[in-house]
Amino acid sequence: MRADGLTVYIVDDDAAVRDSLALMLGLAGYRTAVFADAEAFLAAWREPWTGCIVTDLRLPGASGLELQAEIRRRRSALPVIVITAHGDVPSARAAFRAQALDFLEKPFDDTQLRAAIDSALALEERRLERREETQKLERLTPREREVLERAAQGLHAKEIAATLDISPRTVEVHKTRIMEKLGVRNVAELVRFSLGAK
């Protein structure tokens, strides 16, 4: 059962396919939302949405590839999985060129689709973690960033104090505030956080 709040957005004009995918994924613990075409998805889409898109290649109106292009134009990083009963090399190449995570030809088995979705959601989770880390770093003052940079280089309080022309005690105060803002418990975690955010 997935409890991470990510949603699988299914875009397919075939109601039977939509319903069977939503049922299969729902029983496996995934949260789903279904749309009959690209236009319905784009009309409903909101910037904070997280998860991944599973879209049919051929849709009435805008195609799955056009949906993918529009999502990227809107600066959404939602991973896209393209499914189709009409797979060909040019379509697959176009999908991958537009950064599709996978291109599955119907009929595919549930295991294949779930593996692709799991990869997409793992990618999305990593993106959200990086975004959260960036947001935490943005809360630091310029001086706290300077202290963090030097701590990540392995400098001790006295060395940091000397390079910034402040007292070691002030460095420790900054470190304490930085750890509170970043939600880390010790200097080792602080260094790991700093390196991971680069």
Would you give the DSSP letter of residue 28?
T
The C-alpha atoms of residue 176 and residue 173 are separated, in whole angstroms, by: 5
- Domain 139-196 is in which class? mainly alpha
What pLDDT does 1 receive? Answer: 37
Q: Decide if 2 contacts 30 (C-beta within 8 A).
A: yes
What pLDDT does 198 receive? Answer: 56
Q: Which two tokens stand for residue 107?
A: 């009929």
What pLDDT does 89 receive? Answer: 72
Tell which residue, 20, 10, 83, has the closest CA to residue 51: 10
What pLDDT does 3 receive? Answer: 42
In the chain, domain spans: 7-130, 139-196
Residue 14 main-chain phi, psi, to 5 deg: -90, 110
**pTM to 2 decimals?**
0.75
Per run of 10 residues, the mean pLDDT along the chain (length 198 residues) is: 75 94 94 96 94 93 92 92 81 80 86 94 91 87 91 89 92 91 83 69
What pLDDT does 185 receive? Answer: 85
Q: Give one word for 196, left, alpha or beta, with left for phi > 0 and alpha for psi -120 to 50.
A: alpha
What pLDDT does 170 receive? Answer: 93
Please state which CATH number belongs to domain 7-130: 3.40.50.2300
What pLDDT does 174 receive? Answer: 92
What pLDDT does 45 receive? Answer: 96
